Structure 1
């Protein structure tokens, strides 16, 4: 299989292959291999220190989950089916990797392997896709000033948008839509759904392509959860739908808004487990500056039909596209998360809800912030953790995620994010933005 892929890549002009993985800090790390050494890469992988499991967003190194220190090695093995040539002119290519030991076993820190395990153990086949929000900067200032969703900023950045769409098409990523978003300098791009591993690989690839195209235009982009003080943040909303025997469990049923019985349990599992999982979904020191009430970031452990202030938004789709179009959007995910772990967490919570037949609470049909404390209490509406430290406390002591992800993976993840919280959590927001804006 690798032989045919290597020939394909070389025929397409590959000169240098960037192999990438996403670490516990949510940073895309890489080792690049010249085209002449691809056979060696296929046979032996390329080496990387296991300390990457506990390397923080700023390059600081902590310890946890059995990781830390200078000793040891792991091997990065590409997924050749996913490998593409990003730029036929420069010859730069890309491939996602699995992190394996020298004995060719998955490392406990490999989030891609963790997602694979969770998806393979699931009782449904999941389709997933990310909406990617990002801020475009020109010379250090935002590249447009709105109006939100306006034609004016689209026309100001039309060459960038067209080139992004065409560059993604060249690497096999079909764009559903691209448009100016609410915030200054902000754009959003959506792609079609795919199976979990492919969906996350596509998300990583899409972010890299967007950044490279922007660079060609003399622009820079940031996927950080907050990039401009006192503005809305960037999300990476994760859409998912579970399928069984060719049927969408979120549509065509007799339950609320067309949900099947199993579909109700699956959504209930995600809603019930959000507080336990939020550190895997909104993982950075800027994430909780985005998750504020009445900002459409959805900091509430609720669900609702097309309710953009609920952390889980049920999307039925246009009447003519149902039931296949039905999906649920997990709105709290952002660009600081490790997307493999975020996808694994959503599937695991959904499957737990199904296994335990968790009852689906009543949908919320208004902004929860508009309700009184008494109304929210009476309806069981809970605010999600409001800071990274509290979110990590909930995750660290989760026996469910320790078993689902492995104690070592959970331990190393918490160690990295605890470092980030302790290093940056007490800083003024503007200082945190300056420190972290370009990390993701």
Structure 2
């Protein structure tokens, strides 16, 4: 998404934040209020730092009903949705207009600025998998019956897909491709890389536009990690690269696959912390139904060249695209994650790897589940947490992320998902699917 040289007409403005449950919260501002609110903000309770996916509030102190914060739309990131309506992400600021310690977007921006001061400029892009449902007199049914990547599936949803493409382009989103995915009713959408905060902004915008366009076609789309009990699940994989004055760290070195030493340290920093940040990247009780071996969701903490069962899939530069296409894909991310926390996590751990010169383990060249158990420790292969509860326990013990995000943000995040785990983990799978289907 390109915010440069974009002059917006005076329109009504929809502004959003994404909370720790991964839910986008919205306020609509009339056009004549936009300029004032962009300077002074509009009120929202700080308790939204601990609001859960079902709108219950996880209380972590006695002051949750007390106080106020200011939502300030970032008009530099604003884009048009229609000739009469624009959208902009908001920052969560205190009454003095300084970032709240629980503002995820501010945390991502701060970590990106730290990386730039260290000489690294990141590019990131999410891939969006989502499920389309058709509505008729009998209720909801899947939007296409396949085959995966099939022309027949595309033609069944052609009108929706063309309008989706055009509306995304109208909003300035640089779409690279849209196609029917492997699962029935499933689609995937890829966009061009941008700076970390812009990539997270685009994640919110893509979902907003996809749902708006779907409703215009009497369809509904779900970005839930699992949408049907026998389905393969939706991911929100994050691709990232970083450049220094010497070029892309993943393609300008003399290590295997042309990786530089800095690039190796980045992947190593992620690798050694993956188990303890799974809760940030795949946070819901449904996430762990998707995050299982054999699902191509990256359930193993390891890395490998084009290895889709590894949590970290390395992608070499492609002929014709030059060095710019070399990147690393974080496969475990799903749509329940707050995108600002996702990019913040990748920034924090890759910079941790560089600063501490973390040594990269050898790549895994086969399905990790086929590596003999006795060899996995030596190769740095471990299965990621199999439950939300375990993921949260690992996160609470991770000092790197606590230092990077700050104690208040980590504590609020853990409180939200601990309450969800207590309330929802014992429910049967179909009930958990119904609870989350339209939340993200």
TM (normalized to structure 1)? 0.95
Shift of 1:39: 2.5
Q: Is 1:42 aligned to 2:22, yes or no? A: no
> Does the 8 Å contact 1:316/1:322 carry over to 2?
no
Mapping of residues 54-73 of structure 1, within 5 Å: 54-64=50-60, 69-73=64-68
- Match of residue 53 from structure 1: 49
Shift of 1:413: 0.5
What secondary structure does 2:382 align onto? coil
- Match of residue 160 from structure 1: 160
> Does the 8 Å contact 2:8/2:79 carry over to 1?
no
- Match of residue 303 from structure 1: 303
* Deviation readout 1:319-354 (Å, 9 max, x if unpaired): 232322100000000000011001111111111111
Whole-angstrom CA distance in 1 between matches of 2:290 and 2:105: 26
Whole-angstrom CA distance in 2 between matches of 1:98 and 1:309: 36
Whole-angstrom CA distance in 1 between matches of 2:371 and 2:398: 30
Q: CA RMSD in A?
A: 1.6
Moved more, 17-26 or 246-255: 246-255
* Deviation readout 1:37-62 (Å, 9 max, x if unpaired): 12221231111111100110000011
Whole-angstrom CA distance in 1 between matches of 2:190 and 2:303: 22
What secondary structure does 1:127 align onto? strand
Whole-angstrom CA distance in 2 between matches of 1:47 and 1:275: 37
* Deviation readout 1:48-104 (Å, 9 max, x if unpaired): 11110011000001123x58521100001111111122122xx23211011001111
Whole-angstrom CA distance in 2 between matches of 1:197 and 1:126: 10
Moved more, 347-356 or 329-338: 347-356
1:80 aligns with one of 51, 75, 79: 75
Q: How many residues align?
A: 430
Mapping of residues 363-402 of structure 1, within 5 Å: 363-402=363-402
Whole-angstrom CA distance in 1 between matches of 2:344 and 2:380: 26
> Does the 8 Å contact 2:349/2:400 carry over to 1?
no
- Match of residue 111 from structure 1: 104
TM (normalized to structure 2)? 0.95
Mapping of residues 189-208 of structure 1, within 5 Å: 189-208=189-208
Shift of 1:292: 0.9
What secondary structure does 1:26 align onto? coil
Mapping of residues 34-433 of structure 1, within 5 Å: 34-64=30-60, 69-88=64-83, 91-122=84-115, 123=118, 124-139=120-135, 140-245=140-245, 247-433=247-433
Q: Where has structure 1 moved over 4 Å in runs of 4 or more?
A: 4-7
* Deviation readout 1:203-228 (Å, 9 max, x if unpaired): 11111111101111000000010001
What secondary structure does 1:301 align onto? strand
Whole-angstrom CA distance in 1 between matches of 2:246 and 2:134: 46
Unaligned runs of 5+ in 1: none
